[in-house]
Amino acid sequence: MGGMLHVRAIVPPDETDAVVAELALHVGVTNVVVLPGAARVPSGDVVLCDVAREATDDVLTALKARGIARTGSIAASEVDLALSDAAAEAEERAPGHGDDAVVWDQVFRHLQDGSRLTWTFGAFLVLATMLAGIAALLDSPILVVGAMVLGPEFVPIAAIAFALLTARWELLRRANLTLVVGFVLAIAVTYVCTRIGRFTGFLDLAELPADRPLTGFVYSPDRWSFLVAILAGIAGVLSLTSGKAEALVGVFISVTTVPAAGNLAVALALGHYSEVRGSVLQLGVNIGGMIIAGIVTFVVQWLCWKLVLRRGMGRSEEG
């Protein structure tokens, strides 16, 4: 991703000079603009600047330390195109590479928004679980993949990992609630629909095959299930922190959280209780593996970036 971020701060007039001086200390900042008295709600001066992605977290931290988030406002957005030698030089001066940088405030806001229990989240999870239930009935790996892609559960799982690591208990409560209520709702709806299908004769007990060579892995967890969950969790967190959303598709089609939930609902409705325990275990293994991977990945990213910044400062002092 790399590139620049555009930062806009609404600053109390008596803080403007200090904020501009603070921005001047950061090698990744350029195109600083001050609009005196331009802001109305809240009132104050507007300070604009472009920041290399790898320097953005440091700049936002400095602005928050000055209380600007409390007395004014701070906003940041991606710059799709910057035709500026000054911007190119700022990116070159900033230590590290933009693809490796993490803007932690941006990550937190994304996890906070994505872990809310909304009707949209519930609808996608219900639809994905029902699709997974049909996949179980038909022993269809294509439908399993479709259910994986449709499932929206990864962001709350990543939010749990982030909250446990940073002691953000409100985020932890919200993400847990969203995950539990979402899966309970999705399993319940799929269960009811399956029971209706059985009552009307659309389904019968024989339609959940005892031997499912193409989708049996959904309710048969093993050491590979945990390994895949770990790898998917790492890839998912890297995708979120780097802004490479396209990589999340690979995460979705790697883990079998939603397929396990769909299989659980159908197995309960059709009386195939031998598959219930395996489905529950598969669901737990996937969620647990991704949470563990998320925590480890967040820690490694933080430590590695601290090392990059330390080396960058060392080179700057030598220069």
Give the pLDDT confidence of 7-48 residue by residue, as tens digits. 999 999 999 999 999 998 888 999 999 999 999 999 999 999
Q: What is the pLDDT of residue 250?
A: 63
Please report, for residues 43, 69, 242, 273, the alpha-carbon distance to residue 194 in angstroms, rounded to integers and kept in the order given: 58, 51, 41, 15
Q: Which residues on adjacent β-strands are paired with residue 74?
A: 9
**CA–CA dist 106, 110 (Å, integer):** 6
Contact (CB, 8 A) for 170 and 245 = no
Q: What is the pLDDT of residue 318?
A: 42
For the domain with range 107-305, which CATH number is right: 1.10.10, 2.60.40, 1.20.1080, 3.40.50? Answer: 1.20.1080
Q: What is the pLDDT of residue 314?
A: 42
pTM metric for this prediction: 0.87
Of the candidates 281, 258, 262, 290, which has an alpha carbon nearest to the alpha carbon of residue 155?
A: 290
- Quick one: how far is CA 230 from the chain centroid? 15
Of the candidates 318, 319, 313, which has an alpha carbon nearest to the alpha carbon of residue 28?
A: 313
Taking all residues of the chain, what is their mean pLDDT, rounded to a whole number?
A: 88
Fold of 4-100: Alpha-Beta Plaits (3.30.70)
pLDDT tens for each residue of the chain, 319 residues long? 458 999 999 999 999 999 999 998 888 999 999 999 999 999 999 999 999 988 899 999 999 999 999 999 999 998 888 888 888 888 888 877 777 788 999 999 999 999 999 999 999 999 999 999 999 998 899 999 999 988 999 999 999 999 999 999 999 999 999 999 999 999 999 999 999 998 888 877 656 666 788 888 888 888 899 999 999 999 889 888 876 665 566 666 677 899 999 999 999 998 888 889 999 999 999 999 999 999 999 999 988 888 876 665 444 444 4
Where exactly does CATH 1.20.1080 map onto the chain? 107-305
Cβ-based neighbour number of residue 25 at 10 Å: 10
> What is the 8-class DSSP label of residue 126?
H
